[in-house]
Chain A
Amino acid sequence: MIEIRFHGRGGQGAVTSCEILSMAIIEEGRYAQGFASFGPERRGAPVLAFVRAGDKALKLREQVYEPDIVAVLDPTLLRIVDVTSGLKENGWLILNTKKTLAEHKPKLRSDLNLAVVDATTISMDILHAPIVSVSILGGLVRATGIVELNSLEKPLLKRFGALLARRNKEALMQAYWNTAMA
């Protein structure tokens, strides 16, 4: 079983990230749950979304407390939320940031694996909006290989329709190839 926690701000697309990734996992014939920590949705407020994946039917419906992977959609959250809380030893932290690996790595628990991608710039360039739901997935998939890139195509099409899906695919690939890992 693999558990993933997304940290974002309302409106940035964390719930969409979790929808698309969970759908892609299911498309591969595996089991997954995609769900959010729902509240009265407010733009800009910190939000959580979760994906749980496994090869067998999942006998667990609690929130994710000890994730294998954490993805952070907004770098300003690092100052106000302990994003690595419960993150398993040797787990992956995927950050949307303009800063480099070298700037982030020393501040982290030494066992963690880190991937950084400037998802905001990629989304602004391609989608003309600071919505990083798909570009952060580029970094996450590159770092962890949790799904095949192809498996994301159907969920993207389903979620966005043909035109927007094509642009999001472009953002996904840009992010995928521009992710730095250590």
Chain B
Amino acid sequence: MPTRTPMEVSIAVAKAVQQADVDVIAAYPITPQTHIVEHLSELVANGELQAHFMNVESEHSAISAMVGAAAAGASTFTATSSQGLALMHEILFIAASLRLPIVMVVANRALSGPISIWNDHSDIMAERDIGWIQVFCETGQEAYDAILHAFRVVRDPNVVLPMVVNIDGFNLTHVIEPIYLFEQEELGDYLPEHRQSLKLDIDHPITMGPVGIPEVYTEAKKQVEDALINSKQVILAAWQEFGRRFGRAYAPIETYRVEDAQILLMTMGVISRTAMGAVDRLRDAGKPVGLIRCRLWRPFPLPEFREAVRQASIIAVIDRHISLGAHSGPVGQEVRSALYTLPNRPQVFDFVLGLGGRDVTVHDFLEIVELAEQYATQGPPESEYTLIGLREV
């Protein structure tokens, strides 16, 4: 039986990485991902995890080391946040293009400036198009489970792509909560051994990362795109198998009290749990409000999303990143474009909140639902998105 253990979410994440039996970890410390790699370094130092732990001089080096190790056939893990992820930027595309099965936690934190160590989604939203699989987590249990899913998915010969597990910084990484931890033997063959058919091997030399001349670049990109789109089947199968074996089911778009809902809130990450509390309150007051939570962000689950919102007349999309100079946040843009070609589509209103660690409360969601109703009946706001909680300065 899995043991119900009170622990900090970061420690549970490190435990999952240990159970995945990684070979190489490279990391550079940055708040708030620090506890994850600190604990991994302890596990390695204590001989509880037989892995090579590389202390590197920057995040650019951390991801470069991951690329090198993964190209040589190692199972690899790193974690970062905010500026650290931004510093990795150019290498992230290469990791996907080289089809390297790296698993990385992003403990989501605001990008500077002004300098902020606190939680929002601006770091990962700046890396939407890197070609990595990207998921979000709402609880510590989900974060622990997501690491196990990630190693199963990236090791699948039909995927072989890198994957980001997004865990909200502080608001999830640093929370103590009950987490069911598996014994290694309970996991059994859910986690396959890491076997990479294409790798750098002096006995069987191959070339990785050559120039993509104009005659092949488009096709090379199309192959990464196909691999990413096709990874969805493997991800869904990994979640189904996890549910079948261990009783916790996951889906790319998850719903909460959506029966007959006219208004849908749409969230990602830890604030989804607060949104549930708000939905409970609104339902008690007789309002037909439901919640959809996007777990799989890349590849974007288009059919599942369209199905989830089919009956609704209003979607209130929550963005935790401000897309400067654009007409709405990245999730709002994604949702609008996903619906544009449909003959009948709900009205979409975009709300930006919780930037740089500003607390997201039940009250915020109640206000958002009220505003969305108001926009639907009295006409949309002047701006295509609404910034919630903005103080006059």
Q: Which residues of A contact B (CB under 8 A)?
A: 18-19, 22-27, 29, 31-36, 38-40, 58-63, 65, 155
Do A35 and B274 have beta carbons less than 8 Å apart?
A: no
B362 touches A62 (CB 8 A): yes
Shortest CB-to-CB span from A157 to chain B, Å, is 12
Task: Judge whether A38 and B174 touch: CB under 8 Å.
Answer: yes
| Interface pair A63/B177, CB less than 8 Å apart | no
Chain A residues near B174: list those with CB within 8 A.
Answer: 35-36, 38
Q: Which residue of B lies closest to A36 (CB)?
A: B174
Docked complex: B38-79 residues within 8 A CB-CB of A: none
Interface residue? B360 (CB, 8 A): yes
The answer to whether B280 and A38 have CB atoms under 8 Å apart is: no
Residue from A24, A26, A35, A61 with most neighbouring chain B CB atoms (10 Å):
A61
Q: How far is the CB of A126 from chain B (nearest CB, A)?
A: 25
Partner of A58, one of B170, B273, B360: B273
Complex formed: what's the CA distance from A63 to B358 in Å?
10
- B176 and A22 contacting across the interface, CB-CB below 8 Å: yes
Assuming the contacts A63-B359, A155-B6, asked whether A35 and B176 have C-beta atoms less than 8 A apart, the reply is yes
Report the minimal beta-carbon distance from B147 to chain A, rounded to whole angstroms.
20
- The smallest beta-carbon distance between A148 and chain B, in angstroms, is 15
User: B359 to A62, Cβ gap below 8 A?
Assistant: yes
CB-contact partner of B273 in A25, A39, A60, A155, under 8 A = A60
Residues on B with beta carbons closer than 8 Å to the beta carbon of A65? 361
Residue B290 at the chain A interface, CB threshold 8 Å: no
Contact with A along B371-386 (1 / 0, CB 8 A): 0000000000000000
B288 close to A (CB within 8 Å): no
Question: With A and B bound together, what is the CA distance between A155 and B5 in angstroms?
Answer: 11
26 contacts between A and B (CB under 8 A): A18-B176, A22-B176, A23-B7, A23-B176, A25-B6, A26-B5, A26-B176, A26-B178, A27-B6, A31-B178, A32-B6, A33-B177, A34-B175, A34-B177, A35-B175, A38-B32, A59-B273, A59-B276, A60-B277, A60-B362, A61-B171, A61-B360, A62-B361, A62-B362, A63-B361, A65-B361
Query: B305: shortest Cβ distance to chain A, in Å?
Result: 23
Selected from A31, A40, A155, the residue in CB contact (under 8 A) with B117 is A40
Report whether A22 and B362 are in contact in the complex, using a CB–CB cutoff of 8 Å: no
In the complex, what distance in Å separates the CA atom of A62 from the CA atom of B118? 14
Cα separation A34 to B8 with both chains bound (whole Å): 9
Chain A residues with CB under 8 Å of B171's CB are: 35, 61
| Extra pairs beyond A36-B174, A60-B273 (8, CB < 8 Å) | A22-B177, A25-B6, A31-B178, A33-B176, A34-B175, A34-B176, A60-B274, A61-B273
Contact B32 A62 (CB under 8 A): no
Q: Which residues of A contact B32 (CB under 8 A)?
A: 38
- Complex contact A32–B359 (CB within 8 A): no
By beta carbon, the residue of chain B nearest A18 is B176
Main secondary structure of the interface of A (DSSP, over half): mixed
Q: With the chains together, A66 CA to B176 CA distance in Å? A: 20
User: Which of A25, A29, A34, A38 has the largest count of B CB atoms less than 10 A from its CB?
Assistant: A38
Residue on A nearest B271 in the bound complex, by CB: A61
In the complex, what residues of B have CB within 8 A of residue A33's CB? 175-177
Could you tell me the distance in whole angstroms from the C-beta of B190 to the nearest C-beta in chain A?
24
Q: How far is the CA of A145 from the CA of B199 in the complex (A)?
A: 60
Q: Closest approach, in angstroms, between the C-beta of A164 and any C-beta of chain B?
A: 18
The answer to whether the Cβ of B287 comes within 8 Å of any Cβ in the partner chain is: no
CB-CB under 8 A for A32 and B271, given A60-B277, A155-B6: no
9 closest cross-chain pairs (CB), A and B: A26-B6, A34-B176, A23-B6, A59-B276, A59-B277, A62-B361, A26-B178, A35-B175, A60-B277
Answer whether residue B4 sits at the interface, using C-beta atoms and an 8 A cutoff. Answer: yes
A85: shortest Cβ distance to chain B, in Å? 15
**Contact indicator A62/B6 (Cβ below 8 Å):** no
Bound-state Cα–Cα, A50 to B62, Å: 34
Residues of B within 8 A of A25 (CB): 6
Out of A24, A26, A59, which one reaches B177, CB within 8 Å? A26
- Interface 0/1 of B109-123, CB less than 8 Å to A: 000000001100000
**In the assembled complex, how far is the CB of residue A150 from the closest CB belonging to chain B, in whole angstroms?**
15
B270 an interface residue at 8 Å Cβ cutoff?
yes
Interface residues in B268-312 by Cβ distance below 8 A to A read 270-271, 273-274, 276-277, 280
